[in-house]
Amino acid sequence: MRKILTLFLAICFLAGASISVWGGGLNNTDSRYPQRQYRRFLLPNQMKVMLISDPTLQRGAASLTVAVGSMSDPSGRSGLAHFLEHMLFLGTEKYPDEGSYQEFVSTHDGFSNAYTANDRTNYHFEVDQDYFEEGLDRFSQFFLAPLFNPGLVEREMKAIDSEHSKNIPNDFRRIFQVKRKAFEKGHPARHFATGTLKTLAGASRKELLYFYQKHYSSNQMMLAVAGPQDLDTLQSWVVPRFVSVKNRNLQEIRVSAKYMKRDPRFRLMRIKTIKDSRSLTLMFPLSRTLHYYKSQPLGMLGFLLGHEGKGSLLSLLKRENLAAGLSAGGGDSNKSFSSFDVKIQLTPKGLRNYTKVIRRVFQYLRLLRETGLPRYIYEEVKLMSEIDYKFAEKPEGTSLVNVFSTLMMYYPMRKLEVDPY
């Protein structure tokens, strides 16, 4: 039987043109990688910038995050933010050839990509170090003078529609879309984000320009750049190319944290999957939790629920032949709301007795609440985190700059650690 059982829990919500530099001077050095140096600053147009110099890098990489995503799609235009993301790759005033950017990147041992999330859109690329300056020049034009060639609008709509069609047999995508149906009607998080020919039918260049001019502003952009060049060289390449991006002085986009009803009852959703799988997901909707970045309460709770050793929730479920695996941690997370998810891989018996599995989860949560956490738990988590940090694979390229351009959107520059890993 091909089934997946997903349970959503609606619970109460918990409560003069100059460059500004952060970090106690211009340069910050990562203690694990002494050859790697960092520089953080704010351009005169209020764009946040992080530079990373590392002479061991073979390629240069850049990532720019814009603080607007699918939750800002206009009514009746599902997928417009995603559609605009596609169109930026198809020519600019300085480089009008629709394929010149991708050709340049691929010719010089690089790649590029982009994605649209509910609250942000990210663009990134990496390329051979000898061509990095030109790559930055081409990249910057996305945010200075895109063409939005009307002759390519229909073709790109079909590409969007094709992308959606490929997602249809993907269980992860199907579950993700059904999850949205549990959200409050009218809440922007409920939007269908990808877009199709139907939702984008009639979308014009004028509509794209309006969305671009309404939401793409330098004061809502975060740029991270990494390369083998020294910091002064990287800065000399970045500043003249990105300082002219228009600052429309936009306010930060915030949406209601009440994306699910304050209802103590469970909301049960059954989803039939393509693959033969059995799982139970408990989703706890929360208000924003990003400001708890120092104490990491969701990380601690995820560690306890996801523990697999003696006395753990999973060990009990396995002993009762109800589950084969369990993971827990933060789910959706942005400046407006978040969630905590518990996902359990069920056995056939567990699927038949899913209510018993749910009871076990809440019995464990009640135990944690009543007994509290002994000090040794905190010390163990701290030690494991330090070990993970010390022996983490050295981040490079887009995997490095993508993290920084996203973190700069969520956290104050002054509080951003030089290495987020």
Q: How far apart are CA 122 and CA 85, in angstroms?
A: 9
Is 156 designated active site? yes
Q: Closest Cα to residue 109, out of 63, 61, 65, 142?
A: 61
- Per-residue pLDDT tens for 266-278? 788 888 888 888 9
Query: Given this model, what pLDDT does residue 339 score?
Result: 86
Crossing angle (nearest 10°) for helices 153-167 and 80-87: 120
Give me the half-sphere count of Cα atoms (radius 13 Å) on the Cβ side of residue 263.
Answer: 13
Identify which of 333, 340, 341, 342 has the alpha carbon closest to the alpha carbon of residue 291.
Answer: 333
* Rounded-to-integer distance, Cα 2 and Cα 67, Å: 39
Active-site pick, 85, 126, 133, 207: 85
To the query of whether residue 126 is one of the catalytic residues in this protein, the response is no
Tell me which residue has tokens 């990491």.
296
* Cα 188 from Cα 332, distance rounded (Å): 14
Active-site residue (options: 126, 133, 156, 207): 156
3-state SS, one letter per residue, for the chain: CCCEEEEEECCCCCCCCCCEEECCCCCEECCCCCCCEEEEEECCCCCEEEEEECCCCCEEEEEEEECCCHHHCCCCCCCHHHHHHHHCCCCECCCCCCCHHHHHHHHCCCEEEEEECCCCEEEEEEEEHHHHHHHHHHHHHHHCCECCCHHHHHHHHHHHHHHHHHHCCCHHHHHHHHHHCCCCCCCHHHCCCCCCHHHHCCCCHHHHHHHHHHHCCHHHEEEEEEECCCHHHHHHHHHHHHCCCCCCCCCCCCCCCCCCCCCCCEEEEEECCCCCCCEEEEEEEEECCHHHCCCCHHHHHHHHHHCCCCCCHHHHHHHCCCEEEEEEEEEEECCCEEEEEEEEEECHHHHHCHHHHHHHHHHHHHHHHHHCCCHHHHHHHHHHHHHHHHHCCCCCHHHHHHHHHHHHHHCCHHHCCCCCC
pLDDT tens profile 32-69: 888 899 999 999 999 999 999 999 999 999 999 999 99
Torsion angle, alpha carbons of 314, 318, 321, 323, to 10: 40
Asked if domains 4-11+257-391 and 20-254+394-415 share a fold, the reply is yes
Residue 21 has a pLDDT of 58
Protein fold of 4-11+257-391? Cytochrome Bc1 Complex; Chain A, domain 1 (3.30.830)
Sorted by sequence, the CB contacts under 8 Å of residue 56 that are 6+ apart come out as 35, 228
* Whole-structure pTM value: 0.88
Report CA 299 to chain centroid distance, whole Å: 17
pLDDT score for 415: 67
Class of domain 20-254+394-415: alpha beta
Total Cβ atoms within 10 A of residue 48: 25
Beta bridge partners of 42: 20, 48
* Residue 129 to residue 108: CA distance in whole angstroms: 9
Domain ranges of the chain: 4-11+257-391, 20-254+394-415
pLDDT along the chain (421 residues), means of 10: 45 44 54 87 97 96 98 93 96 96 98 96 98 99 96 93 91 84 81 91 92 97 98 98 98 77 75 89 85 83 90 96 95 83 96 97 94 86 86 88 95 67 46
Confidence (pLDDT) at 259: 72
Residues 6 or more apart from 148 whose CB is under 8 A from it?
Answer: 87, 205, 208, 209, 212
